[in-house]
A and B are shown apart, each in its own frame.
Chain A
Amino acid sequence: MEIFNSEQDGGETTKRRKKALPTENIKEFGSVDIPTTKSNIHVMTIIGQIEGHTILAPNNKTTKYEHVIPQLVAIEQSPDIDGLILLLNTVGGDVEAGLAIAEMIASLSKPSVSVVLGGGHSIGVPVAVSATYSYIVESATMTIHPIRLTGMVIGAQSSFDYLEKMQERVNKFVTDHSRINEKKWKELLFKTGELSRDIGTSVGGKDAVHYGLIDEIGGISQAICKLNELIKAQQSSRGLKQ
């Protein structure tokens, strides 16, 4: 993938950009560039499949970790950004890529609020709970099921052990970052009879809150309100320290 960077030729492009843009837009797009205002809250969408080490077919809608992780670094480092909103509608994906994103969000020093819309399935669960505070809309669902292996699997004890360790990593992350206890989480994970194809559970918005997986039912207004509250709290605690 080719990435063009605006910083490649120093200040030259910045000057060109400032001068050329408004008229360029009228000429090229038939529109005028709206004045961009800075927002202290940035937004990140975790949509489609979480893509890991293997590039998925172009017809898949994916969230790529090589896009998301540097953006999280930029959010952490920028003095203009105070908080992060995460919007989730994911079917799951690569375990390690998902865990990497979740760990990055969890280790941000700035407050983050996640909103699960539509679905936050499989690896979407650790990503949703990684935020400082999590919301789910009532109509959303989260499918909780054990990790499966794709492709050729060598049915040896060691591959089973490896898979179990991977499952343990996810279990630990979810129980550490949400109010759900390990017993309940495992019960949802290995429940039989709930999903027709496999073992696991499909948890609705209300149940996700009831089990302690997600903090509250709510949409974007509640999320922004909560984030502003968290930002204020963080700023005042910093003020006290100084």
Chain B
Amino acid sequence: MISWTILPPEEPSPEALRQETKVLCCCGVPLLVEAEADTYKIIRILSTNPNDYLIAAFQPGKIIDRQNYTF
């Protein structure tokens, strides 16, 4: 891989602190979530529609219940 970045290549990368993330499509909105025991925690909204960022239920940090998760 050829990288072109201002970050020095020797920068140490700390241990992975976070859990594995995955992409969910909830109500048509793509979300980057962190999978927890029986919930999903929203990390980031991946949609390009600016209105999706205004939906209160999809604000980063909100929890989605796996049981009641709707596509």
Task: Tell me whether B48 and A27 are in contact (CB under 8 A).
Answer: no
Task: Tell me whether B6 and A36 are in contact (CB under 8 A).
Answer: no
Task: Tell me whether A57 and B13 are in contact (CB under 8 A).
Answer: yes
Question: At the interface, yes or no: A34 with Cβ under 8 Å from chain B?
Answer: yes
Assuming the contacts A71-B48, A148-B9, asked whether A122 and B4 have C-beta atoms less than 8 A apart, the reply is yes
Task: Tell me whether A92 and B70 are in contact (CB under 8 A).
Answer: no
- B8 vs chain A, min Cβ distance (A): 7
Assuming the contacts A20-B70, A36-B52, asked whether A58 and B21 have C-beta atoms less than 8 A apart, the reply is yes
Q: When the two chains form the complex, which single residue of B6, B7, B20, B28 contacts A6, counting CB atoms closer than 8 Å?
A: B28
Assuming the contacts A1-B22, A42-B48, asked whether A95 and B68 have C-beta atoms less than 8 A apart, the reply is no
Chain A residue at minimum C-beta to C-beta distance from B65:
A28
Task: Tell me whether B3 and A95 are in contact (CB under 8 A).
Answer: yes
**How big is the B interface, by class?**
35 or more
Measured between beta carbons, the chain B residues less than 8 angstroms from A16 are 70-71
Task: Tell me whether A39 and B5 are in contact (CB under 8 A).
Answer: no
Q: How far is the CA of A120 from the CA of B3 in the complex (A)?
A: 15
Determine, out of A47-55, A129-137, A206-214, A229-237, the stretch whose residues face the partner at the interface: A47-55
Q: When the two chains form the complex, which single residue of A3, A20, A24, A60 contacts B25, counting CB atoms closer than 8 Å?
A: A3
Chain A residue at minimum C-beta to C-beta distance from B18:
A58
- A3 vs chain B, min Cβ distance (A): 5
Q: How far is the CA of A58 from the CA of B28 in the complex (A)?
A: 25
B-side residues, CB < 8 A to A, are 1-9, 13-14, 16-18, 20-25, 27-28, 30, 46, 48-52, 54-57, 62-65, 68, 70-71
Can you name 17 extra interface pairs (CB under 8 A) apart from A25-B57, A57-B14, A148-B3? A2-B22, A4-B23, A16-B70, A17-B70, A29-B57, A29-B62, A29-B63, A39-B49, A43-B50, A71-B46, A71-B48, A75-B48, A84-B48, A121-B5, A148-B4, A150-B1, A151-B1
